Amino acid sequence: MLETKSLNVIAIPFAGGDRYSYRHFQTYLGSAINWHTIELPGRGIRKKEEIPENFERMAESLITQAEPIMNRGPFGLFGHSMGALLGYHLALMLHEKNMPQPVWAFFTGFGAPGFKKKNPISHLDSDQFWNRVASQNGVPISVLNSKELRDYFEPVLRHDFTALEKYCNNFTESFVLTCPLYLRRGTEESITDMEFMAWQKFCTKPIDQQTYEGDHFTYIKNPVDLCNKINNLSENWI
């Protein structure tokens, strides 16, 4: 029997996300893609684990789950929003530990590292905080309409934004990706052209960038084009 070849993709959730954040991608991904969404501590199956104290520790916590996947062969790296920056820092840590690097990275919904976080929200009171989160159109209506659910999810979500804002405001890394880098954003996002194109400073190869119509989550909720691109990328590694 012929061996079926496939490419593993390590996916990192956005702020407040978990291992189910990209579950709908499976509808559009080909059989040659083995998609693995990593679970961060303090949520989902890692709910009982202590939430990492800062962004660097968040990235480090991903290695335990990612290492068995990386050991199976070539892998791609995907991250949306906070997941994009976590993906960058994960690649940095893999480099520092002399571990395998991704064959490509696909980051969406976030500008390049090195820019201070505009309009921070981690310090806002609960009502203001949820108003800002809701404006990104990534939280289910069932959560927004339930105080009980908001109270349940707020600590993790607020922690993620706090860690992200501190990392952005104190960024000093100079690590450069050596794999191809694919970038996507929405027309209604607050990512400037300068912030978007500045990713080139963190990659040795020309970046592949595209802007979709819509907001921060439009192309994540309807990921047909994203998945088609990922399917095409897999053909070079199977």
pLDDT at residue 238, rounded to an integer: 62
pLDDT at residue 235, rounded to an integer: 81
Q: Would you say residue 164 lies in a domain?
A: no
List of the chain residues with pLDDT < 70: 1-5, 238
pLDDT at residue 18, rounded to an integer: 92
> Are 163 and 54 contacting, i.e. CB atoms less than 8 angstroms apart?
yes
Give the DSSP per-residue string, 12-31.
E--TT--TTTTGGGGGTS-T
Q: Would you say residue 17 lies in a domain?
A: yes
pTM of the complete model beyond 0.85? yes
Q: What is the CATH number of the domain that holds 64?
A: 3.40.50.1820
pLDDT at residue 102, rounded to an integer: 96
Q: In the chain, how many domains are there?
A: 1
pLDDT at residue 12, rounded to an integer: 97
Polymer length of the chain: 238
pLDDT at residue 2, rounded to an integer: 40
Q: Would you say residue 163 lies in a domain?
A: no
Residue ranges making up the domain that contains 24: 7-112+174-233
pLDDT digits (tens, 9 = 90+) for 170-196: 998 889 999 999 999 999 999 999 999
Q: Would you say residue 12 lies in a domain?
A: yes
